[in-house]
Structure 1
Amino acid sequence: MAMRFDEAEPVLWFTLALATALSVATGDALTKKFFGRFSALEMAVVASLFNLPFVLITIPFIPVPELDRVFWWTVCILVPLDAFALYLYMRAIKASPLSLSIPFLSFTPVFMIFTGFLILEEVPNIFGVVGIGCVVIGSYILNAAEARHGYLAPFQAIFKEQGSVLMLIVSLIYSLLAVLGKKAIQHSSPLFFGFFFLGALDLVTLVFFPLFGKIRWGALLRMPNKGICVGLLLYVHVLCHVLAISMIKAVYMISVKRTSVLFSVVYGWLLFKESEISNRILGAFLMFLGVVCISLLG
Structure 2
Amino acid sequence: MAWLPLALLSAFSLASADACSKKFLPSYRAREMVLVRFAYSALLLAPLLYFSPLPAVPPAFWGWLALALPLEILAMLLYMQAIRDSPLSLTLPYLAFTPVFTTLAGYLLLGERISTQGLLGIVLVVSGAYLLNLEASGTPGRDHLSKPLRAIANERGSRMMLAVAIIYGLTSVIGKIELQYASPWSFAAIYFVLLGLLSLVLFACSSPRPRVLHVLGRKPAIHLLIGGLFTAMIVTHFMALEQVATAYMISAKRTSILFGMLYGALLFGEQGLLRRLTAGALMVVGVTLLAV
Deviates more, 1:160-169 or 1:64-73: 64-73
The answer to whether the aligner puts 1:171 opposite 2:161 as a matched pair is: no
Alignment of 1:255-270 (within 5 A): 255-270=251-266
User: Whole-Å Cα distance in 2 between the matches of residues 137 and 65 of structure 1?
Assistant: 44
* RMSD of aligned residue pairs (Cα, Å): 1.5
Q: 1:213 to 1:290 in 2, by over 3 A?
A: farther
Q: Does 1:22 align with 2:15?
A: no
What residue number does 2:223 align with? 227
* Structure 1 residue runs without a partner (length 5+): 1-10
**Cα distance change of structure 1 residues 219 and 81 upon mapping to structure 2, 3 Å threshold:** closer
Matches within 5 A, 1:77-116: 77-116=67-106
Assess if the C-alpha contact under 8 Å between 1:97 and 1:268 holds in 2: yes
Alignment of 1:197-212 (within 5 A): 197-212=191-206
Find the partner of 1:141 among 127, 131, 136: 131
State whether residues 41 and 213 of structure 1, in contact with CA within 8 Å, keep that contact through their aligned partners in structure 2: no
Output the CA distance in 2 between the equivalents of 1:22 and 1:164.
21
Contact kept, 8 Å, 1:45 with 1:206, in 2: the verdict is yes
Against the structure 1 CA distance between its residues 213 and 169, is the aligned structure 2 distance closer, same or farther, given a 3 Å change threshold? farther
Number of aligned residue pairs: 286
Q: Distance in 1 between matches of 2:216 and 2:99?
A: 35
Amino acid at match of 2:155: E
Would the alpha carbon gap of residues 129 and 40 (structure 1) be closer, same or farther in structure 2, given more than 3 Å must change? same
Q: Please list, as runs of the form range in 1=range in 2, the aligned pairs for 1:151-170 lying within 5 A after superposition.
A: 151-170=145-164
| Native 8 Å contact 2:45 2:192 kept in 1 | yes
Contact map agreement 1:144 1:279 (CA 8 A) in 2 = no
**Which is further off, 176-185 or 40-49?**
40-49
Matched letter for residue 188 of structure 1: A
Q: Assess if the C-alpha contact under 8 Å between 1:140 and 1:154 holds in 2.
A: yes
Residue in structure 2 matching 1:131, options 121, 124, 127: 121
Residue 285 (structure 1) aligned with residue 281 (structure 2): yes
Q: Say whether 1:32 aligns with 2:22.
A: yes
State whether residues 94 and 165 of structure 2, in contact with CA within 8 Å, keep that contact through their aligned partners in structure 1.
yes
CA distance 1:273–1:184, shift in 2 (3 Å): same
Check whether the contact 2:43–2:193 (CA below 8 A) recurs between aligned residues.
no
Confirm or deny: 8 A CA contact 1:133 1:290 kept in the other structure.
Answer: yes
The answer to whether the 8 A contact 1:29-1:264 is kept is: yes
The change in CA–CA distance for 1:242 and 1:57 in structure 2 (over 3 A counts) is: same
The residue type paired with residue 60 of structure 1 is Y
1:32-84 deviations in Å (ceiling 9; x for gaps): 11112111111111112322221223321114323222211111111111111
* Distance in 2, Cα, partners of 1:134 & 1:165: 19
Helix, strand or coil at the partner of 2:28: coil
Normalising by structure 2, we get a TM-score of 0.94
Query: Do 1:70 and 1:187's aligned partners in 2 also have CA atoms closer than 8 Å?
Result: no
| Partners of 1:239 and 1:233 in 2: CA distance | 10
SS of structure 1 residue aligned to 2:182: coil
List alignment gaps of at least 5 residues for structure 2. Answer: none
Deviation at 1:213, TM superposition (A): 5.6
Q: State the Cα distance separating 1:147 from its structure 2 match.
A: 2.5
> What TM-score comes out, normalization by structure 1 length?
0.92
Kindly provide the CA deviation profile for residues 232-265 of structure 1, in whole angstroms up to 9, marking residues without a partner as x.
Answer: 1111111111221122111111111111111111
The separation in 1 between residues aligned to 2:15 and 2:254, in whole angstroms, is 10
Verify the 8 A CA contact 1:36 1:43 in the aligned structure 2.
no
Worse-superposed segment, 182-191 or 54-63: 54-63
Note closer, same or farther for the CA distance 1:144–1:106 as it changes in structure 2 (3 Å cut).
Answer: same
1:181 aligns with 2:175: yes
Aligned-pair CA distance for 1:195: 1.5
SS of equivalent to 2:157: helix
Counterpart position of 1:8: none
